[in-house]
Amino acid sequence: MRYRIRPALLLAPAGLLLAALAPWVLDGYHAGLAIKIMIYALFALSLQLLVGGAGLISLGHAAFFGIGAYAAALLSPESGPANFFWLIPCAVAPAMAYAALTGALALRTRGIYFIMITLAFAQMAYYVFHDTEAGGGSDGIYLYFRPEWRIGGHTLLNVDGPHAFYLFTLAVLALAWLFLAVLMRSRFGAALTGIRINEQRMRAAGYATFSYKFTAYVLAAGLAALAGMLYAAKDGFVNPELLAWEQSGLVLLMVILGGLGRLGGAVAGAAALTLLQEAFQSEALFGGLASHWHLPFGLSIIALVALLPRGLAGLLDRPGVRIASGASGASGSAGSAAPGPRSTGRTGAAPESAPQTTYRPQP
């Protein structure tokens, strides 16, 4: 018998430890960049649940990100910091309610029609904030104080400091990853995977596929709103561009570049695209060409997608460590070959087929 140790299981704890120690090494700019990467990683994880989990490609996911950011800014008082205990549910609930309303209609479509209707709903939300004074119009609104954890008059955790907010964002990202990893290994996650592979067969097996997709859609909206709330708390400013279709396209590129169906791929894709953007916009690196950063940025994405069809997470599949147990096989190609049908030992009997396994997305 051979056991395969996935590199992600070895790299995840080391990466989490290094990320926790980073704020004491990085300067202010790079610490802020790391926080931005973690927020977009959480945003990409929420979309990974739809695209990699249920096979639902959405071009309107930025609507939930922006609703969460605007809710945090609108509900925060101008005289002092808000309380995370009530701000988080109040920021996440409107996004989930909008997802429930739009998902009840959008999830009755498929393919390109689902993509277009999610884009339409996102643009509706965009123009609500852009063309009205509800959120300051096209100028946006400010969040004057970073929220804190408070019970009564006692402050439990103040995240206004640079190190505190960095570690708070990292903790939220780690908890979201853990939640999605457990979810995708549950019966619910197995059902989502079956729906992504063959929804018609899942219906024939008796699964209410609409309910599973609807639940995933609303959960993904809640996680995206949580990322939007962190974005508002980081910058202290939100504007309608957070809901624009370009934002939805950007997070979809993060998921594709990182690797579909891989939670680690969403994080890697968010880091890669954010760093590419920062690099091509840097005048120190590209001088006057930095004002035309969209061209090399687009060419880089095309090259990466062409060279890495399985995404950045696919790079970890090849150097997996195999541990042999007992006399489980010889070395070389014979040891790595897939097992064939087993004989039943009865003359004329059909060979017993190898057991089938259920595919589950890897973190």
The DSSP bridge pattern shows strands 321-324 and 2-5 to be: antiparallel
CA distances from 280 to 68, 286, 295 (A): 29, 7, 9
At residue 284, the pLDDT reads 78
The residue type at 169:
T
The residue type at 216:
A
DSSP 50: I
Q: For residues 349 and 346, give the distance between their C-alpha atoms in angstroms, rounded to a whole number.
A: 5
- Contact (Cβ atoms closer than 8 angstroms) between residue 98 and residue 67: yes
- Residues whose CB falls within 8 Å of the CB of residue 160, separated by 6 or more in sequence, listed in order: 81, 145, 146, 148
At residue 12, the pLDDT reads 66
How many residues are listed for the chain in this entry?
363
Q: For residue 284, give both structure tokens.
A: 């120190």
- Contact (Cβ atoms closer than 8 angstroms) between residue 95 and residue 34: no
CA distances from 232 to 20, 65, 66, 238, 275 (A): 22, 10, 9, 6, 20
Q: For residues 268 and 44, give the distance between their C-alpha atoms in angstroms, rounded to a whole number.
A: 10
Q: Quick one: how far is CA 257 from the chain centroid?
A: 12
Please list the ranges in the chain whose pLDDT falls under 70: 1-12, 317-363
CA distances from 55 to 5, 181, 192, 269, 319 (A): 27, 17, 8, 18, 28
Q: For residues 119 and 122, give the distance between their C-alpha atoms in angstroms, rounded to a whole number.
A: 5
Sign of CA dihedral 62, 65, 68, 71: negative
Q: For residue 75, give both structure tokens.
A: 């509900």
At residue 7, the pLDDT reads 58
At residue 28, the pLDDT reads 80
At residue 183, the pLDDT reads 93
What is this structure's pTM? 0.82
For the chain, the structural domain boundaries read 24-243
